[in-house]
Structure 1
Amino acid sequence: MFRLAWFVNYGFGQYGWGGRWSGNVSRDVGRPELFMHNTKTLENAGFDYVMLEDAPVLPDVYKASPDYSVEHGIFRLDPFPLVPLIAQATDHIGVIATMTTSYTPPYQAARLTTTLDHLTNGRFGVNLVTSSPHAVGQNFGRDSHYEHDLRYEMADEWIDAVRALWDTWEPDAVVMDEHTGLFADPAKVHYANYNGQYHRTRGPLNTIPGPQHHPVICQAGGSGVGRTFAARNADTVMAGTKGIDGMRGYRDDITRIATENGRDASKIKVVHLIEPVLGDTMDEAKAKDRARQEAAAADIEGKLAGLSYLSGIDMSQFDLDAPLPDMADKVNGHKSSYDQFNRIAQSGKTFREALSGRSGQQTIELVGTPEVVADQMEEAMEQVGGDGFLFVLPFTRKNVAEVADGLAPVLRRRGVIRDGFAHKTFKENLQEF
């Protein structure tokens, strides 16, 4: 069996704005109902979790201006207030929200995540990012953002500090003895007194332990230091490496690093990014895929803006009809994502040709009827070894319905995805198989 999850881009901000099937944008944008409804639909379809993406910045690298982002609706609302609303509308599915380790103090992080663990009855998880580009640092009072590898060095301390705070209350510290009037045992509540090079925190927390004690940790380690951080700390890892060999190699790498660090690697669930194109017939699915690729290839400016955000380098300055200079060593953003594009750009193509290649974040191409795509997903999992897939389609009602009502039932009838939830907490269900 394998897991299904959905990458909800931009929290409850933009979600495929302006498309033919985007729904009533004026009604949905900035309101929680769409996300509550869609997540309940995914829960019924057998999904393990939704992950709410976030970045505390209005992208302005492209042309040194936020104009493109403003014109195209690329905004974000903080995902954390959405978590309890989704939890209220659902019963079992895990809900993950994204937090920056670079600019969230450990005490604030530990207190907030514990509170949400309570409010979701143990179904909360946190996706840890170190953030990019430089504008993020400037939003938090710095002249520029921390260097890439330094961010992960700081994140190593950050998660240790947060765990120390989570553990300031022992699991059985709360007794609530009505006969003696004792709420909690003082002998089981301790100071953290964490003193690192980058983070210091005293504790103890003033929140009691949540149902999971340590909420589920999610991470998307792509670079070398990112993979190490994920393998050391995450319960579920999002992977975007291309092809079956890349998927298998990534999962094997996470397993190796986790084992070297004394972890049981079987408890780390790797989910691979996919963007399936579904149709009632193969011809319909292929036509939809062709139309999507043609539209994406024509949107050169959108790709330039996206690549600028990923790299932290303004891509508008380069000649589209000449080769792109190799700037991999200058990137201080999403290094692994940029490296994938850079390999194409450095293969003798012009910048325009590299941008016009097949669009998307998917690890493998999935095009066809629900039955054909289900075959492809099963075959991939058999070759890779696990552990599931993360859908990166826009979070529209149409996309969710096609997957939940078309693809998921085929997978469920074959017994390869869950047909219910055996446990109360997110972490227990994640570890079920």
Structure 2
Amino acid sequence: MHLGWFATTGFGVYGWEDPWAGNVASDLGRPGLFVDLATSLERAGFDYLMLEDSSVLPDVYRGTFESSVRRGTHVRFDPVPLVPLLANATQHLGIVATVATTFYPPFLAARLFATLDHLSGGRVGLNLVTASADGAAQNYGLTKHVEHDRRYEMADEWITVCKELWSSWDRDALTLEPGGAFADHERIHTIDHVGEHYSSRGPLNLPPGPQGRPVICQAGASPAGRAFGARHADTIIAAQTGVDAMRAYREDISRRLLENGRKPEDAKVLYLVNPILGDTDDDAFRKRDRLRQVQSGHVDRVLAALSYFTSMDFSQFDVDAPLPDLSGNNGHQGTVADMVRTGKTLREIATTHKATESIELCGSVETVADRMEEVMAEVGGDGFLIAAPVTRKNVTEITDGLAPALRRRGVLRHRYEHATFRDNLLST
């Protein structure tokens, strides 16, 4: 079983004023919390830590920034400068940073992540998103975000350019001959890419990193997102609800991989979960019920999230009326569709939606470990992506409680067999 940790608000704020949030004010903008997370994940045998990112402070909901900053949920520091610090503190863990393909020039991204691959010793990954908010697009000079499926068309060409750039030096281009040439110039090539959306001459002005190219991570629930992931991703994040939907997603991705000349095992599908752990099952159930009670009293938070995902102000709608028409949504289509399935009114959605759960995992570490093993056997997937808030209590419960229970069952690695992130990720 492969495991990753999804830092859902990236290099940002977690659990402002919540119990067990730690020294959240003094952690703000500092690497210590995330270094603690990375070293703990490596000790536990995780494949990677993935850092989400966003470049907008939303003011769609009620036309103000209040919902974005009240709990700090949309405060984001750029995750890329954090990557070398996390890599320096670890030896095996993959470190994945998020880049919005719509806003990054492909040459800039290819050069930056080739550099990080060298700095990390072959342990960097690139999580590709197309971004969703009009406000983010406006920060980069657009008046409105690019249409959803067109964003994926652009992303497909974007990663093609990056791959060409990462291959612009042959793997044996470096000669490093004492008293001779540093590199063989005949093994370095321009790419001369001229496409519909991007042009780049190339080559990169640095040799390929230990992995050749970074690990590519992608989350896409829409048909366009699934097609993109099957063409390019080494690991795919899925948030399908329920075992049947999880199995169907894995089967669909496997079929798409084969259609693209790849093998099903070429991309590891990890399902989003947020385990609720207790010393006993009853302790965990009581904890779950308390969390649900808190959620039921904060309808505004879910409405603000829907506003962000769709660039539509949900404060204008009656929360007890049938759902409004969301067919014009140009944002996170898969996420919104999943939320809509949980209820018929906005209040029902707000009080029952579980944003990061493919399945409910609740109980003692033994109960949860049993359930994780059972579900993977049923689904035929590859593992789970933990999406718990980054607090030191959550980290300890998962890495020193749940992970050892999985290891005792023989479903989680005891050691890393390979030197690079990709080789460890794609191992069976």
**If the TM-score is normalised by the length of the shorter chain, which range does it land in?**
over 0.9
Helix, strand or coil at the partner of 2:11: coil
Q: TM-score, normalised by structure 2?
A: 0.98
Q: Which residue in 1 is equivalent to 2:213?
A: 214
Structure 1 residue 375: deviation in Å? 0.6
C-alpha offsets along residues 11-46 of structure 1, whole Å, 9 cap, x if unaligned? 221122221100011211110011001110111011
2:260 is the counterpart of 1:265: no
- Provide the C-alpha distance between the structure 1 equivalents of 2:196 and 2:6, rounded to a whole number of angstroms: 34
- Provide the C-alpha distance between the structure 2 equivalents of 1:128 and 1:372, rounded to a whole number of angstroms: 34
Structure 1 residue 358: deviation in Å? 4.3
The answer for unaligned runs of 5 or more in structure 2 is none
Alpha carbons 2:190, 2:203 under 8 Å: kept: yes
C-alpha offsets along residues 156-176 of structure 1, whole Å, 9 cap, x if unaligned? 110111111111111110111
Q: Which residue in 1 is equivalent to 2:117?
A: 117
Tell me which stretches of 4 or more aligned residues in structure 1 moved more than 3 Å.
Answer: none
CA RMSD of aligned residues (A): 1.0
Q: Which residue in 1 is equivalent to 2:336?
A: 338
Structure 1 residue 119: deviation in Å? 0.6
In percent, how many aligned pairs have the same letter?
51
C-alpha offsets along residues 359-414 of structure 1, whole Å, 9 cap, x if unaligned? 33200011111000011000000000120000010011000100111111111111
- Provide the C-alpha distance between the structure 1 equivalents of 2:308 and 2:201, rounded to a whole number of angstroms: 36
- Provide the C-alpha distance between the structure 1 equivalents of 2:236 and 2:94, rounded to a whole number of angstroms: 14
Counterparts of 1:24-423 in structure 2, within 5 Å, are 24-74=23-73, 75-180=75-180, 182-327=181-326, 329-345=327-343, 349-423=344-418
The answer for unaligned runs of 5 or more in structure 1 is none
Once the two structures are overlaid, the 10-residue window that deviates more, 25-34 or 109-118, is: 25-34
- Provide the C-alpha distance between the structure 2 equivalents of 1:98 and 1:359, rounded to a whole number of angstroms: 23
Helix, strand or coil at the partner of 2:385: strand
Alpha carbons 1:293, 1:358 under 8 Å: kept: no
Once the two structures are overlaid, the 10-residue window that deviates more, 67-76 or 210-219, is: 67-76
- Provide the C-alpha distance between the structure 2 equivalents of 1:403 and 1:9, rounded to a whole number of angstroms: 16
Structure 1 residue 265: deviation in Å? 1.8
C-alpha offsets along residues 81-113 of structure 1, whole Å, 9 cap, x if unaligned? 000000011110000000011010010011001
Structure 2 letter corresponding to 1:34? L
Alpha carbons 1:297, 1:358 under 8 Å: kept: no
- Provide the C-alpha distance between the structure 2 equivalents of 1:341 and 1:71, rounded to a whole number of angstroms: 23
Helix, strand or coil at the partner of 2:144: coil
C-alpha offsets along residues 318-339 of structure 1, whole Å, 9 cap, x if unaligned? 0112112221x21111000101
C-alpha offsets along residues 175-234 of structure 1, whole Å, 9 cap, x if unaligned? 110132x00000000001011100110111111110001110000011000000001100
- Provide the C-alpha distance between the structure 2 equivalents of 1:29 and 1:124, rounded to a whole number of angstroms: 24
Helix, strand or coil at the partner of 2:46: coil
Alpha carbons 1:32, 1:85 under 8 Å: kept: yes
Alpha carbons 1:279, 1:285 under 8 Å: kept: yes
- Provide the C-alpha distance between the structure 1 equivalents of 2:205 and 2:60, rounded to a whole number of angstroms: 40
Structure 1 residue 144: deviation in Å? 0.6
C-alpha offsets along residues 270-307 of structure 1, whole Å, 9 cap, x if unaligned? 00000111111111010000001111111111111111
- Provide the C-alpha distance between the structure 2 equivalents of 1:259 and 1:350, rounded to a whole number of angstroms: 40
Structure 2 letter corresponding to 1:86? L
- Provide the C-alpha distance between the structure 2 equivalents of 1:358 and 1:333, rounded to a whole number of angstroms: 18
- Provide the C-alpha distance between the structure 2 equivalents of 1:168 and 1:358, rounded to a whole number of angstroms: 46
C-alpha offsets along residues 124-175 of structure 1, whole Å, 9 cap, x if unaligned? 0000000011011100001011000000010111011111111111111011
- Provide the C-alpha distance between the structure 1 equivalents of 2:369 and 2:338, rounded to a whole number of angstroms: 27
Alpha carbons 1:168, 1:205 under 8 Å: kept: yes
